[in-house]
A and B are shown apart, each in its own frame.
Chain A
Amino acid sequence: MGLDPVFGALLAICFAVLFASAAVHKWRNLPSFEIAFSAYALLPQIPTLHLTWLVPLCETAVAVGLLARATRGVSAVAGALLLLGYAGAIALNLQRGRRDIACGCGGPDQRRPIAGWMAWRNLLLALLLGLAIFPWSGRALTWMDGATIAFGAAAAIVVYLCVDRLGEVSARARALQGSA
């Protein structure tokens, strides 16, 4: 038994939008992402080697790959690995006690510090994306399924935006008390 095509399509569309928006943010201001990326201090710093653009490139590839049937499985695995990587990078730096580095997510003007909830969020997202690896069952889709996919994707995107904003607001509230 495979994944119902409605679930499959929902997952593929939502994650394609997520990765595409993440990639667009990074492409739009690559230098500021480069600063954020090097602040994670994951790789030894080699100043002549600017490999930061690989991250948005991977994200773009995953976003496009999720939409095509042939590449969906591979893209889902790659996307889940990317998300796990981000979660690991955030968790590692939190453990090092470097709580003030920018997360490198969101728009170029946003400078948000990394936080524990981001690591958990990415873990959850990776699990969800992992579901997209399963093949779809061969059920024929009706127009109602189309409506479910369209509305469902829109709802999921708005929920994601809400959670994202709430995380930011609560971080700001904590910073006000001087204890963040």
Chain B
Amino acid sequence: MTALAISNVLLWIAVLALLLVVLALVRQLGVLHERIAPAGALMLNRGLTVGERAPMIDVEDLEGRPLRLGAPREDGRSTLLVFVSPTCPVCKSLLPAIKSGRKDEKDWLDVVLASDGDLAEQRRFASEQGLDGVPYVVSTPLGLGYQVNRLPFAALVDAAGVLRARGLVNSREHLESLFEAQRLGVASLQEYFASRA
């Protein structure tokens, strides 16, 4: 009986030790994924191709000012379209980054927020989040035109009306990667690595 008990306890200790090793391995796997994960906005496999003309769409913002998105511009400024929604929690957490990005890049970039759905709800969202001054458009054709299927989604259109970068933006780093894409002239992190390989 004593021998059995001792063997049993030893086995338990061995099982626990092995399990802890497995846990450590799995954690390492997670760390590894974090390291290799793209720090840039993830491009989805569907949607518009970067480097092509962006769809030209006429819209009005919440204050009724007409905007022609995707059209070539004479003032040489680029446009960042950020698709958000009042019902998307990540969008809310991204708004401060969008606002500060807009301030930092104001020399060359206009930021336009885009959404879809009930107008009254959008107005409430915009005023709640302190989005006064940022053009906010509500348009279904816009979302369809840019083939937005997940939020928050951003598309960078340059002065010539060409789509320069696009992708899912979940964080400040993702957003800034779009500005980097414009500066470096590469569409995505995938392309950047491919060009170096």
Contact B89 A102 (CB under 8 A): yes
> Given the complex of chains A and B, what is the CA–CA distance between A151 and B42 in angstroms?
43
Closest chain-B Cβ to A103's Cβ sits at a distance in Å of: 12
State in angstroms the CA–CA spacing of A12 and B143 once bound together: 51
A101 to B87, CA, bound (A): 10
Q: Does B37 contact A (CB under 8 A)?
A: yes
Question: Which residues of chain A (49-101) have a CB below 8 Å from chain B?
Answer: 100-101
Determine, out of A120-128, A133-141, A161-169, the stretch whose residues face the partner at the interface.
A161-169
Does A39 touch B at the CB level, under 8 Å? yes
Report Cα–Cα, A162/B30, bound state, in Å. Answer: 11
Contacts of B4-51 to chain A: CB distance below 8 A? 5, 8-9, 12-13, 15-16, 19-20, 22-23, 26-27, 29-30, 33, 36-38, 42-45
> Do A162 and B19 touch across chains, with their CB atoms under 8 A apart?
yes
The chain A residue with its CB closest to the CB of B13 is A151
Q: Does chain A have a CB within 8 A of B68?
A: no
Interface of B (DSSP majority class): helix
- Would you give the shortest CB distance from A86 to chain B, in whole angstroms? 18
Check if B20 sits within 8 Å of A158, measured CB to CB: yes
Complex: A136 Cα to B129 Cα, angstroms: 56
Interface contact A161-B15, CB-CB below 8 Å: no
Chain B residue at minimal CB-CB distance from A99:
B150
The reply to whether A144 and B89 form a contact with Cβ atoms under 8 Å apart is no
Per-position binary interface string of chain A over residues 164-180, scored 1 when its CB falls under 8 Å from any chain B CB and 0 otherwise = 01101100110110110
- 26 A–B contacts from the bound complex (CB under 8 Å): A35-B92, A144-B8, A148-B12, A151-B9, A151-B12, A151-B16, A152-B12, A154-B16, A158-B16, A158-B19, A158-B20, A161-B23, A162-B19, A162-B23, A165-B23, A165-B26, A165-B27, A166-B26, A166-B29, A169-B30, A169-B33, A172-B30, A175-B42, A176-B33, A176-B36, A179-B45
A residues in contact (CB < 8 Å) with B? 35-36, 39, 100-102, 111, 144, 147-148, 151-152, 154-155, 158-159, 161-162, 165-166, 168-169, 172-173, 175-176, 178-179
> Lowest 7 CB-CB distances: which A-B pairs, in order?
A151-B12, A158-B19, A165-B26, A35-B89, A172-B33, A178-B45, A169-B29
Where the two chains meet, the residues of B that have a C-beta atom closer than 8 Å to any C-beta of A are 5, 8-9, 12-13, 15-16, 19-20, 22-23, 26-27, 29-30, 33, 36-38, 42-45, 87, 89-90, 92, 150-151
